[in-house]
Amino acid sequence: MRKTDTTAGIILLATTIITFLEIRKLPIGNLTSPQAGFFPFLLGVILAILSLILLGQAIRRREMERGKGKRTSGAVSLSSAKRISLTMGALFILGVFFEWMGYLLSAFLLIAFLLVFVGRQKWWVAITAGFLSAFFCYLVFGLLLKGSLPTGIFV
Amino acid sequence: MEVFSNIYLGFSVLLTPTNLFLCFIGALLGTLVGVLPGLGPIAAISLLLPSTYQMAPVSAIILLAGIFYGAMYGGSTTSILVNIPGEAASVVTCLDGYQMARKGRAGAALGISAFGSFIAGTLGVLILMLLAPILGRAALTIGPPEYFALTFLGLTLVTSLSHGSFTKALIMAVLGLLAGCIGADPISGFKRFTYGSFTLIDGVGIVPVAMGMFGIGEVLENMGQTYGTREIYETKIKGLLPGIRDWKDSIGPIMRGSILGFFIGILPGPSVAISSFASYAIEKKISRYPERFGTGAIQGVAGPESANNAATSGAFVPLVSLGIPANVTMALFLGALMIHGIQVGPLFITQYPDIFWGLITSMYVGNVMLLVLNLPLIGIWVKVLKVPYGILFPLILLFCFIGVYTLNNNVIEIFIMLIFGIFGYVSRKAGFEAASFILAMVLGPLMEKSLRQSLLISQGHLEIFLVRPISCILLILSLASIMLTLIPTLRIKKETLNEGD
């Protein structure tokens, strides 16, 4: 957790810098007449202070652990990381092609892919579930809720 | 007399086939969500929010409210039968509920949980019905400094009561406030943090963020655990109707839990979960046989389950009377009302009496439906528990995906959801809580507007927050909650340093 906190502290400081770079484009005003950049500026300052506190806590914990000979363990296993990467990768790619493919084909492909490659289910289970999911989406979003979803290549 | 005519209005709104059906569906879905570990009411409400866009506002609120209080009923089932809490509010029920099941008294535990929840839910609705309009009228007398102090108190309570590091909870709150700044400034119209995107001019919507952090984020976190089969206590569940002895032992905890739960529910933060812990602690403290707690004491089930149900009613009080969400679920309700163009604030009850009284009556009828559903359908819920998570999670992701698109037919919002899904997962792994972020994001615009208005009124003098009594009291309470969190932490650090020496 100590290494994670150090990384988090650095990322947060970088976020603070980006925030201040954006705030430069806004009028800040003053206490009498606060403008659009006033509140974000205040938050940026508080975030910078908190990030430094977090970094300081992480460094102090490292020194204490060094003294006691403790080590922190990793947070995510390789198999979990693989499952998560596959899932997020599938979702992002689907996002790119969603309107072109349409919601029915997207539902089928997403369910089938995730069941086979992440859920480790059998192919026939995945394909059946994919079809059922697409049908269920049509019932719920198409007929019942009458949502205007892209039909894609099925137009 | 006005109350009776309002109740009549409420029932006339509720007793239509559509609204009754949605009340039933909400209660059923809520119970299902409560039964399934890994899918909480926040994720479920986030998933269904876009679907409610096509509905009338009162119908949408009736459905979503059903999910909220239904999940409290469902959460107790897994606590008692599987020793896994379906919801954070049902953690305490595991302590005695599962022990009762092991002694062959699962039926009594499930029965008293259902009846206790019904009584508490009914009492909670009654108090809400009486208290909210009074608070709504009182709220008309408060101004920007009080609103700022209230939102500040809300955020400090949420961060003080969060698990883990206080620094990290504060960081998430500040990040949430910054996220709330994205978009056009409501006062001057300046675009902030939009990077030229038309989508971001309206800000980052609560729906994509909530679905990302609580829907996708939770699925990713559950993926990090192995999909073992759950050990469900396989016993013939009999005797669901509590006996006279059970009622005698439980009626006191039920009544105490109901009152306690309702008033804790009003407080900002994870009040529903806190109410169940508080009730358990009190029942154990005042019991003549405290050693029985943890071994299958029915009081350890009756009190907490009643408290968490009453807290769901209490949580509505700040939202409907002040327009301030006390927790993440209420923030989603606020989002649902805003999607329908409803302005929530002190005038909500007088401007939209059909929505408020329709909600009140639906909560009463919903509690009756839940009592009827939960007792005979326990066998079905047990079967549902056996569905492997490896089958469920793709469906959850699909619903998130399509659901967020139906909001505005905007693919960018899908990517916003996915980015916040990763953010939600990574922040959880690093020990940062999502609840502080979401609540801050929702409260941020109100907080900023109140702060700027207060400074304009006072011409830059910060004393305005201290000279007004309500604002001053609220800020002192905020400071007290921060000190109460920091003092034990500092003491532990001092002891650790002394050990090192």
Q: Is B196 left (phi over 0), alpha (psi -120 to 50) or beta?
A: left
Q: What is the largest CA-CA distance in chain A?
A: 68
Per-residue model confidence (pLDDT) at position B33: 79
Do residues A24 and A89 share a domain? Answer: no
Per-residue model confidence (pLDDT) at position A73: 46
Confidence bin at B240 (pLDDT 50/70/90): low
Per-residue model confidence (pLDDT) at position A53: 92
Per-residue model confidence (pLDDT) at position A2: 66
CA B18 to chain centroid, in Å, comes to 25
Do residues A63 and A10 share a domain? Answer: yes
Which of A31, A54, A145 has the CB atom closest to B167's CB atom? A54
Best residue of B54, B171, B493 to probe chain A, by most A CBs closer than 10 Å: B171
Tell me the pTM. Answer: 0.80
CA distance A30 to chain B (A): 8
* Nearest chain B residue (CA) to A43: B174
CB-CB neighbors (< 8 A) of A145 in chain B: 51, 54, 406
Domain residues for the domain of A140 are 78-154
By mean pLDDT, which of A15-29, B73-87, B91-105, B206-220 is the weakest? B73-87
A and B: number of Cβ contacts within 8 A = 170
In a domain, B466, yes or no: yes
Residues 6+ apart with CB under 8 A from B254: B115, B116, B119, B120, B302, B303, B306
Per-residue model confidence (pLDDT) at position B17: 92
User: Which of A26, A50, A68 is a domain's end point?
Assistant: A68
* B196-237 confidence digits (pLDDT tens): 888 888 888 887 888 888 888 888 887 766 544 455 555 555
Mean pLDDT of B281-297: 86
Which of A39, A47, A67 has the CB atom closest to B451's CB atom? A39
CA distance A40 to chain B (A): 6
CA distance A89 to chain B (A): 10
Higher pLDDT, B98 or B50: B98
CB-CB neighbors (< 8 A) of B194 in chain A: none
Do residues A10 and A55 share a domain? Answer: yes
Do residues A17 and A59 share a domain? Answer: yes
* B270-281 confidence digits (pLDDT tens): 677 778 888 988
Per-residue model confidence (pLDDT) at position B308: 87
Please tell me which of B330-344, B346-360, B440-454 the model is most confident about, judged by mean pLDDT.
B440-454
Task: Reply yes or no on whether the pLDDT at B71 is more than 90.
Answer: no
CA distance A136 to chain B (A): 10
Domain residues for the domain of B270 are 2-228+249-500
Q: Cβ B456–A5 below 8 Å, yes or no?
A: no
Mean pLDDT of A4-19: 90
In a domain, A94, yes or no: yes
Q: Cβ B181–A40 below 8 Å, yes or no?
A: yes
Task: Reply yes or no on whether the pLDDT at B45 is more than 90.
Answer: no
Confidence bin at B376 (pLDDT 50/70/90): confident
Task: Reply yes or no on whether the pLDDT at B239 is more than 70.
Answer: no
Do residues A108 and A49 share a domain? Answer: no
Three-class SS of residue B393? helix
Interface of A with B in 126-155 (CB under 8 A): 129, 133, 137, 140-141, 145-149
Do residues A92 and A140 share a domain? Answer: yes
What is the tally of structural domains in chain A? 2
In a domain, B74, yes or no: yes
Interface of A with B in 10-49 (CB under 8 A): 12, 15, 19, 22, 26-27, 30-40, 43-44, 46-47
In a domain, B47, yes or no: yes
Mean pLDDT of A32-42: 93
Do residues A55 and A94 share a domain? Answer: no
Asked whether B39 and B396 are in contact (CB, 8 A), the reply is: yes
Per-residue model confidence (pLDDT) at position B438: 85
In a domain, A132, yes or no: yes
Q: Cβ B390–A107 below 8 Å, yes or no?
A: no
Mean pLDDT of A44-59: 92
In a domain, A73, yes or no: no
Which of A22, A30, A50 has the CB atom closest to B167's CB atom? A50
Q: Cβ A83–B223 below 8 Å, yes or no?
A: yes
Do residues A51 and A82 share a domain? Answer: no
Q: Cβ A118–B223 below 8 Å, yes or no?
A: yes
CB-CB neighbors (< 8 A) of A44 in chain B: 178
DSSP states along B140-202: TT--HHHHHHHHHHHHHHHHHTSSS-HHHHHHHHHHHHHHHT-EE-TTT--EES-TT-SGGGG
- DSSP assignment letter at A149: -
Do residues A92 and A142 share a domain? Answer: yes
In a domain, A124, yes or no: yes
Per-residue model confidence (pLDDT) at position B86: 63
Which one-letter amino acid corresponds to residue B218? E
Q: Cβ B405–A98 below 8 Å, yes or no?
A: yes
* A97-126 confidence digits (pLDDT tens): 999 888 889 989 999 999 998 888 888 989
Per-residue model confidence (pLDDT) at position B329: 84
The percent of residues above 90 in pLDDT, for chain B, comes to 17
Higher pLDDT, B382 or B432: B432
Full 3-state SS string of B109-138: HHHHHHHHHHHHHHHHHHHHHHHHHHHHHH
CB-CB neighbors (< 8 A) of B393 in chain A: 114, 118-119
* Nearest chain B residue (CA) to A25: B192
Which of A32, A141, A146 has the CB atom closest to B460's CB atom? A32
CB-CB neighbors (< 8 A) of A39 in chain B: 177, 181, 448, 451-452
Q: Cα separation of B158 and B19, whole Å?
A: 33
Task: Reply yes or no on whether the pLDDT at B187 is more than 80.
Answer: yes
* Nearest chain B residue (CA) to A83: B223
What is the tally of structural domains in chain B? 1
Do residues A21 and A54 share a domain? Answer: yes
Asked whether B475 and B149 are in contact (CB, 8 A), the reply is: yes
Per-residue model confidence (pLDDT) at position B236: 55
Best residue of B168, B190, B405 to probe chain A, by most A CBs closer than 10 Å: B405
Q: Cβ B456–A34 below 8 Å, yes or no?
A: yes
In a domain, B260, yes or no: yes
Which of B170, B193, B390 has the CB atom closest to A50's CB atom? B170
Q: Is A104 on the interface with B (CB under 8 A)?
A: no
In a domain, B385, yes or no: yes
* Nearest chain A residue (CA) to B411: A95
User: Which of A68, A93, A125 is a domain's end point?
Assistant: A68
Tokens representing B284 are: 């154990």
Backbone angles phi, psi at B17, to 5 degrees: -55, -40
Q: Cβ A88–B402 below 8 Å, yes or no?
A: no
Which one-letter amino acid corresponds to residue B49? L
Which of B178, B418, B459 has the CB atom closest to A19's CB atom? B178
Q: Cβ A91–B418 below 8 Å, yes or no?
A: yes
By mean pLDDT, which of A35-39, A56-60, B467-471 is the weakest? A56-60
Do residues A39 and A88 share a domain? Answer: no
Do residues A63 and A84 share a domain? Answer: no
